[in-house]
Amino acid sequence: MSGGGDTRAAIARPGMAVAHGPVAPSSPEQVTLLPVQRSFSLPRFSRATPSISLAESVLKVWHEAYNSGLLPQLVAQHSLAMAQNGAVPSEATKRDQNLKRGNWGNQIEFVLTSVGYAVGLGNVWRFPYLCYRNGGGAFMFPYFIMLIFCGIPLFFMELSFGQFASQGCLGVWRISPMFKGVGYGMMVVSTYIGIYYNVVICIAFYYFFSSMTHVLPWAYCNNPWNTRDCAGVLDASNLTNGSRPATLPSNLSHLLNHSLQRTSPSEEYWRLYVLKLSDDIGNFGEVRLPLLGCLSVSWVVVFLCLIRGVKSSGKVVYFTATFPYVVLTILFVRGVTLEGAFTGIMYYLTPQWDKILEAKVWGDAASQIFYSLGCAWGGLITMASYNKFHNNCYRDSVIISITNCATSVYAGFVIFSILGFMASHLGVDVSRVADHGPGLAFVAYPEALTLLPISPLWSLLFFFMLILLGLGTQFCLLETLVTAIVDEVGNEWILQKKTYVTLGVAVAGFLLGIPLTSQAGIYWLLLMDNYAASFSLVVISCIMCVAIMYIYGHQNYFQDIQMMLGFPPPLFFQICWRFVSPAIIFFILVFTVIQYQPITYNHYQYPGWAVAIGFLMALSSVLCIPLYAMFQLCRTDGDTLLQRLKNATKPSRDWGPALLENRTGRYTPTIIPSPDDGFEVQPLHPDKAQIPTVGSNGSSRLQASRI
């Protein structure tokens, strides 16, 4: 007799039956399931159905098979299918695939997607600047301390959280329904980031297309948009013969060193031509049509890569997550061979040990780890939800976290080798040319590239790398929103129309991003970057730790991980989850508040009303948590507030693994669940008796049945 999971499957899919009539043992029909005209008619069990023992249900199935003369074939088929699947009676089958939502094609796809999600633009344009500003090599010490005690534990928690429930950032809060507002907060944050992140990608696309020329348009000061204050690194007289001066004229070097009124051609290209920057955040001016066109290209690329959900994006990341390392290596080899590169690298790495005693250095290290890994965005939970249930997410979390941080360090060598060469060429200190954010990506580094032979080639490679780094993060941001919507609705219709949901979210993101392509767009982009995803992420992550460790219970969660992985989380992670990581998160929050300074862009001071909008964006994600908690308390049964509070925080009855055969131990169902419960039956052998089901991308495909 089969195990409980097989019987449940037989009941859940009564439309499939076994081969009929006498069948010889050597006949092909003995190993091939065939449809029959008659199927077993069984009662449908729902939540309202009185409790019927599993044994009685099993007996009904086998009794009808016996009366129909199909019992020998049923037993033979069932035993043979289990043997071919590598299982024995009463043993869980080895295949673990969620037919309703789909899974990654293989584990490499998940790892590469997570690496692409974590490794983004911040690794290139923020970490190197933070490192040199906070003591060079000395900054590495607090950076890796924070990685060990905060980064990896939080990464592991989010991966295990999503993988255990096989749900997105909303569905996982069946663990404690009152805290579902945390999931909505994650969605709000991902929405903000997704809007402006793709605008950054579109600017990278613009620079990529502009680099397809013999002479980079930001190399000289003889363009129509240049002003009299422009002072180029190259002599404009060499434009015709293409030669480069061996050294700068002394008067030009003097001007670059001492005249604050002089601007570089790359800065004027960025400010006066690409952005046509207005004088105030409220003065939108015109929409920059070239940027709008590149924005549409960005969203089309993102949509096409996600058109089949993780099935299509999992294939794309083989290129988008790996090729940036090829470009980084090419730029690194080229950079370290340049004159002055060693000076730049030493500026980047030389430790200033006295700065370790400054709280600001530790705060910057903790913040960089936290934001770089993408914690509390909802993307890690979403990506892990497509894993198979018994995947070793502990191993994955360590690999991905270390890869992310190593990439940041490696990118620092690439950036500062080129900046050191530029500083040597100009005869100035490295600090004069070092920058971060858009200033590094679209002003300082492009200007340094003009000094290289065949500069358009290096420019193409650099901006192509930025595009791929941005797309890897954008894929997960969009998939987070789509998965949350589809999981929340959860019916067959929206599963079939998931592609249209993806299209709708992409179109909405494009329309909301149009104001950021106006002449005031860069002001709004930086406003969203500074406020929409700042302290709100810290609050969300802190509440998530408290809800899982102290409301749901650390012992319960440790048992869940042991059931999923086969071993409990190591003692180090147990201590970090309960005490160390929440304390570090709280420290980051306090540090963020203490170190707060009103936002500026170059010499422009944001007006008070713009800062107020920034705070409203930050609060919009945090307020989801108390608002939904009050809503949940109002709709929860209970005579007193305390009873309502207890009922609202305890796990819902459908919390646990998504597949029935994984619901063991305290998750073993006592009655036969109905399809409305959201559970799914696992196929025994995929090569037999295939029936059409809906895949993760909404398309129909053949999948196997149990019987």
| Binding site, annotated residues for Na(+) | 116, 118-119, 123, 372, 404, 469
Q: Which ranges constitute the DSSP H helices of 514-607?
A: 521-531, 535-546, 554-565, 571-575, 581-594
Q: Which ranges constitute the DSSP H helices of 85-179?
A: 107-118, 121-125, 127-133, 140-146, 152-165
| Long-range residue pairs from 659-664, CB within 8 A, at least 24 positions apart, any chain | 659/96, 659/98, 659/166, 659/389, 660/5, 660/8, 660/9, 661/5, 661/92, 661/93, 661/96, 662/92, 662/96, 662/389, 662/564, 664/92, 664/563
| Alpha carbon distance 172, 177 (integer Å) | 9
Tokens of 28: 């092909």
Kind and range of the H or E run holding 630: helix 624-635
Whether the Cβ atoms of residue 476 and residue 109 lie closer than 8 Å to each other: no
Whether the Cβ atoms of residue 412 and residue 420 lie closer than 8 Å to each other: no
Helix, strand, coil share of the chain (percent; to 5): 65, 5, 35
> Which amino acid would we find at residue 690?
Q
| Alpha carbon distance 90, 276 (integer Å) | 70
Say how far residue 215 (Cα) sits from the centre of its chain: 37
Tokens of 633: 């308390």
Cβ-proximal residues to 260 (8 Å cutoff; 6+ apart), any chain: none
Q: Which residues make up each annotated binding site?
A: 116, 118-119, 123, 372, 404, 469
| Alpha carbon distance 19, 77 (integer Å) | 9
588 SS3 class: helix
Tokens of 495: 């599963």
| Alpha carbon distance 402, 399 (integer Å) | 5
Cβ-proximal residues to 345 (8 Å cutoff; 6+ apart), any chain: 336, 413, 416, 417, 420
| Alpha carbon distance 309, 277 (integer Å) | 37
Whether the Cβ atoms of residue 268 and residue 227 lie closer than 8 Å to each other: yes
Question: How far, CA to CA in Å, does 462 sit from each of 71, 219, 469?
Answer: 67, 16, 11
Whether the Cβ atoms of residue 541 and residue 375 lie closer than 8 Å to each other: yes
Nearest to 72 by CA among 62, 81, 84: 62
Nearest to 247 by CA among 262, 344, 238: 238
- Residue written as tokens 């439309």? 15
Q: Where are the beta strands (DSSP E) in 93-244?
A: none
Say how far residue 556 (Cα) sits from the centre of its chain: 27
Say how far residue 213 (Cα) sits from the centre of its chain: 35
Dihedral-angle region of residue 602 (phi above 0 means left; psi in -120 to 50 means alpha; beta otherwise): left
Q: Which ranges constitute the DSSP H helices of 427-454?
A: 430-433, 438-439, 445-449
Which residues are 318's β-sheet partners? none
Burial class (CB in 10 A: 0-12, 13-18, 19+), 551: middle
